[in-house]
């Protein structure tokens, strides 16, 4: 599904190397978690994969189902099946949530040469999916993320994910700013999307999200490299010993 090889990334405007040779392979049907201390490069990895400006790839590659995604525009990556659930979803005043969703769904279908979804089919699907995420009609009508609480914003991200049905979902600290109930709701939304054809990359500081979204593989990212890879037990180790303990062990 996703194959990252020796990825080196620096900030475009500064001589600051952030990723220093990341190797990672996410298989279809699997959930990989990336954990790591602040400043280790977790968010940079998610932004570089989704095509945000401001980063420069100096070495290495990233392929989604064999296609080089690093040369693609963000919208092309989305159409190819990439989805990033933002750590801080952006507010867009003046654009209705529903309009946004429909434009996105149909733009991707068009890019893939599929027929656009009719207004009524779209509405039916959105309503059904919104309901399971406890997103009411009012939230769908409001401008994108404007005036949403932290939990509502994250639920809205998962709704977009459910509507767009990507192949690879990257969740960037989706647990940040969520209380326990909201986290459960979001995790249920994510779990409902787990299937054999879809890969997940879950980026988080804490082990608690992984209680709800059970990972198959856990990686520790530190200093711009993946320094340790293991099973779900590795997340527990982080919880018990902190990153310092693991890093000392690896050094």
Partner 1 sequence: MALPEVKQSATEARLMALTLPESGCLKAARQAALSRVQTMGLPSRRDEYWKYTKPDTLVQAEAPKAAVFHADETPMFNAFERLNIVFVDGVFDAEASDDLELEGLTIDRIEDICCKDIHWAKDLYGVLEARGQTPVERPLAALNTAFASDGVAIRVTGKVSKPLNFTYVHSDDNSDAILHHVIRVESGAEVTILENGPAASRFNKCMEIDIADGGTMHLVRAQGRDHERRAATHLFTRLGTESVFKSFTLTVNGVLTRNEAVIELTGDDAVAHIAGACVGDGDFHHDDTVFITHDAVNCESRQVFKKVLRNGATGVFQGKILVKEGAQKTDGYQISQSLLLDDDSQFLAKPELEIYADDVACSHGSTSGAIDEEGLFYLRSRGVPHAEATDLMTLAFLAEAVDEIEDGDIAADIVSRLEGWLARRR
C-alpha dist (Å) from residue 166 to 16, 22, 205, 220: 32, 23, 24, 25
> Between 52 and 131, whose beta carbon lies closer to partner 1?
52
- Return the range that interacts with partner 1 (CB under 8 A); candidates 22-30, 99-107, 211-219, 226-234: 99-107
Task: Confirm or reject binding of residue 78 to partner 1 (CB under 8 A).
Answer: yes
- Smallest separation, CB 111 to partner 1 (Å): 7
Tokens 């310092």 correspond to 244
- Return the range that interacts with partner 1 (CB under 8 A); candidates 36-44, 101-109, 183-191, 200-208: 101-109
Is the C-alpha dihedral spanning 163, 169, 175, 180 positive or negative? Answer: positive
Strands 31-35 and 199-204: parallel
Residues in region 161-190 near partner 1 by CB under 8 A: 164
- Smallest separation, CB 89 to partner 1 (Å): 7
Q: Are 87 and 45 in contact (CB under 8 A)?
A: no
Q: b/e per residue, 126-142, with b = 16+ CB within 10 A? A: beebbeebebeeebbeb
Distance of alpha carbon 43 from alpha carbon 35, whole angstroms = 11
Element (H, E) at 237: helix 233-250
- Smallest separation, CB 98 to partner 1 (Å): 13
Q: Please identify which residue in 86, 148, 200, 243 interacts with partner 1, judged by CB under 8 A.
A: 86
- Smallest separation, CB 148 to partner 1 (Å): 13
Q: Are 35 and 172 in contact (CB under 8 A)?
A: no
**Nearest by Cα to 104 from 75, 132, 133, 69:** 75
> Between 47 and 243, whose beta carbon lies closer to partner 1?
47
Task: Confirm or reject binding of residue 148 to partner 1 (CB under 8 A).
Answer: no
Task: Confirm or reject binding of residue 119 to partner 1 (CB under 8 A).
Answer: no
Task: Confirm or reject binding of residue 104 to partner 1 (CB under 8 A).
Answer: yes
Provide the mask over 126-145, with x wherever binding to partner 1 is found by CB under 8 A and - wherever it is not: -----------------xx-
State the helix-helix crossing angle for 150-164 and 119-132, rounded to 10 degrees: 130
- N residues, the chain: 251
Task: Confirm or reject binding of residue 79 to partner 1 (CB under 8 A).
Answer: yes
Task: Confirm or reject binding of residue 107 to partner 1 (CB under 8 A).
Answer: yes
Task: Confirm or reject binding of residue 103 to partner 1 (CB under 8 A).
Answer: yes
Question: Using CB under 8 A as the criterion, which residues of the chain lie in contact with partner 1 when the complex forms?
Answer: 50-53, 73-75, 77-79, 83-84, 86, 89-95, 99-100, 103-105, 107-108, 111, 143-144, 160, 164
């Amino acid at each position: 599904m996703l194959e990252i090889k020796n990825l080196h990334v620096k900030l475009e405007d500064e001589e600051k190397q952030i990723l220093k040779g990341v190797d990672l392979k996410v298989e279809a049907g699997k959930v990989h978690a990336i954990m790591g201390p602040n400043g280790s490069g977790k968010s940079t990895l998610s932004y570089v994969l989704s095509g945000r400006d401001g980063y420069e790839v100096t070495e290495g590659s990233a392929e989604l189902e064999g296609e080089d995604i690093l040369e693609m525009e963000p919208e092309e990556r989305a159409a190819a099946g990439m989805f990033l659930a933002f750590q801080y979803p952006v507010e867009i005043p003046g654009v209705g949530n529903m309009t946004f969703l429909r434009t996105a769904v149909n733009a991707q279908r068009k890019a893939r040469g599929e027929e656009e979804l009719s207004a009524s089919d779209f509405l039916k699907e959105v309503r059904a999916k919104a309901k399971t995420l406890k997103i009411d009609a009012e939230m769908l009508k409001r401008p994108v993320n404007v005036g949403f609480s932290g939990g509502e914003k994250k639920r809205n991200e998962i709704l977009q994910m459910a509507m767009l049905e990507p192949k690879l979902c990257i969740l960037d600290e989706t647990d940040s700013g969520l209380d326990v109930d909201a986290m459960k709701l979001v995790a249920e939304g994510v779990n409902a999307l787990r299937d054999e054809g879809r890969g997940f990359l879950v980026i988080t500081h804490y082990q608690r999200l992984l209680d709800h979204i059970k990972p198959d593989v856990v990686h520790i990212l530190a200093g711009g490299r993946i320094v340790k890879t293991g099973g779900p037990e590795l997340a527990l180790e982080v919880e018990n010993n902190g990153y310092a303990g693991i890093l000392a062990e690896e050094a």
